[in-house]
Copies of this chain bind each other. A is one copy, B any other.
Amino acid sequence: MSADPSARRGIPDATVARLPEYLRALTGLAERGITSVSSEELAAAAGVRSAKLRKDLSYLGSYGVRGVGYEVDHLAYQISRELGLTQDWPVAIVGMGNLGHALAAYSGFATRGFRVVALLDQDPAIVGQEIAGLAVQPMSELTALVSEQGLAIGVIATPAASAQDVCDALVAAGVRSILNFAPCVLVVPDGVDVRKVDLSTELQILAFHEQRKALASPAALRKAVAP
C-alpha cells in the first residue's frame, strides 16, 4: 500500500483549494493544443508562484519530467483523480429563489464531475414548476434522492432564516457535503463538510481595502470621510 504514489495521506488544505485552479489552467492549455508545460508557465496561468505550484504538485506524486516539464493531459488527469472528478457527483439545489434559479441554469455548474439531479423547495407554490428542464420537488423527496440517485452534495440557496432547517434535513437524509449560499453559520455534526459562499462578505472585505486605499491616497476627493 505504500507503493501507491497517490496513497499520500494529508494533502494540505491550502493545496487542495488551489488544485481546481491548476486544473482549469491545464484544461485551457489543452484546448489550445499545448501538450507540455513548465511549472513557470503553468504557475503564470494559474496566478501563483512557480515554487508554490511545484510544492503543491509534489504532494500528489512525481508527475513531471526534470528538464522538460509536465505533460498537460496526464497532469490534468492526475489532478482530476485526486479531486475525485473521475466519478460523477449528483448534486441537489435547495431553494428556488433568484439565486437558486440562476444556479440551476448556470452552465459552469455542470462542469465535468457534477450533475444537478434535483431542485427542491419548501414552498408548495413553487414545487412542480419546471426550471432548467427539471421539475421542482418537495423536501420530502430528499431521502429517496440519496438512496436512489446517490445524492452526495447539497447546495443551499434559501434565505438565512430557513438555511439551518434545510441543512438539518440534508444531513438527516445522509448528505455529508454542503455548499451554503445563505448568509449564516450552519452547525453540523462531525463528518459533514460545509463550505460557504457569501457575496456580502466578499463586498465588505473589498470595502475595507478600498477605504484603506482612499485614506492613503491624496485623491480622497470623492465622498469625503467624516472627520
Contacts and interface: CB of A to CB of B under 8 A. Distances in A.
A23 B200 CA distance: 11
A61 interface: no
Given A83-B208, A176-B210, A203 B114 contact: yes
A185 interface: yes
Most buried by B among A103, A179, A208: A208
Stoichiometry, as copies per complex, reads: 2
A46 B101 CA distance: 28
Contacts of A122: none
Interface of A: 16-17, 19-21, 23-25, 45-47, 82-89, 91, 98-99, 101-103, 105-106, 108-109, 111, 113-114, 150, 152-153, 176-179, 183-185, 187, 191, 193, 195, 197-213, 222-223, 225-226
28 contacts: A16-B205, A16-B208, A19-B208, A20-B200, A20-B205, A21-B185, A84-B207, A84-B208, A85-B207, A87-B223, A89-B210, A91-B203, A102-B102, A103-B199, A106-B199, A113-B207, A150-B222, A150-B223, A152-B210, A153-B203, A153-B207, A153-B210, A176-B213, A177-B207, A179-B199, A179-B206, A193-B210, A195-B202
